[in-house]
Amino acid sequence: MFAFVVALALSAPVALAEEEAMKNLTTVTWAHAVNNKTYLEAALASELSMLEADVVLGHITGKDGPPIPIMAHPPATTSDLSLGDFLTGVAQYNNVNAKQKGVKLDFKSIEAFEKAQDIIAPFSKPEVTFPLWLNADILPGPIKATTKPVDAEKFIQLASKHPRAVLSIGWTTNYGGNITEGEYSREQIGSMLRLVNEHNVNQTVTFPVRAGLASNSQPVLLDLVRETSSLNSSITVWSSEGDNVEVDRLRALILTMGLEKTYLDVPHELAAKLHLPPPTNTKN
């Protein structure tokens, strides 16, 4: 009995430390716009853990025929990389490497997502285990953003056919340049919550939020994540190069939300300024 207690006391701190490391979502690192073959190869060869890439309808350079889902950022409609080849490439890498790379597919239109269904399906089966995120801006957001959002209802409905995929749903934004101040309104957050509830979303959810705006929206974002906690919800803080961001406010948001509920996808310069607290020393 005594020996048993001692063994427990010795192993507990190690287990705790491992668990804490796993729960620090800010340790996840990102490659962006992995929209061509050369960069896909480079990203797979890198230490980065998540590959973010954009999906539009278009053509493989030099090929005709009906438009297909390709990796490209608007306004581009051609690429040397199709969605199918992108996913196959990542899956092949993951088959022979212990450290899995995940993908975040940013769908730029509902048509691209509709046409992508059969292409995604083999990779959203339960036996495939690498992280698969399906992302779109599905609601109009700050500040009076005029970009047309991706059809919210259709996106959620189609995404539910891929239950193992993480649903990454956010707002269009208009920020940066001479727009340096703003926030997510209670109405914008409420619209998202209503969508999630009305469509009985039952898969893991993350809400991408733009750092400069999110840092001024702490109370409503805490509400959003609390109200969706049964979906293991999180926020994914992202930022564009040059966005005005109040670093202290962003730090406060991340620490109040918790490192276990906050993915961080911001430029290195901003991440370094945050000085996130290191793991607590479990040895005392």
Instruction: Provide the binding-site residues for ligand NAG, judged by CB under 6 A.
Output: 20, 24, 26-27, 33, 35-36, 38-39, 160, 177-178, 200, 202-204, 231-232, 259, 276-279
Q: How far is CA 140 from CA 41, 68, 166, 174, 226, in A?
A: 34, 26, 21, 10, 22
In degrees rounded to 5, what are phi and psi of residue 126? -60, -30
Q: How far is the CB of 75 from ligand NAG (least distance, A)?
A: 14
Q: Please list the residues that pair with 103 across neighbouring strands.
A: 51, 132
State which amino acid sits at residue 39. Answer: Y
Q: How far is the CB of 68 from ligand NAG (least distance, A)?
A: 18
Cis peptide before 138 (omega within 30 of 0): no
Q: Which is nearer to ligand NAG, 112 or 274 (CB)?
A: 274
Q: CA 207, CA 209: separation in Å to the nearest integer?
A: 6
Residue-wise over 230-260: b if at least 16 C-beta within 10 A, else e?
Answer: ebebbbbbbbeeebbbeeebbbebbeebebe
Q: How far is the CB of 167 from ligand NAG (least distance, A)?
A: 9
Q: How far is the CB of 37 from ligand NAG (least distance, A)?
A: 8
Q: How far is the CB of 148 from ligand NAG (least distance, A)?
A: 20
Residue 245: both structure tokens together: 């961001």
In angstroms, how far is CA 28 from the centroid of its own chain? 10
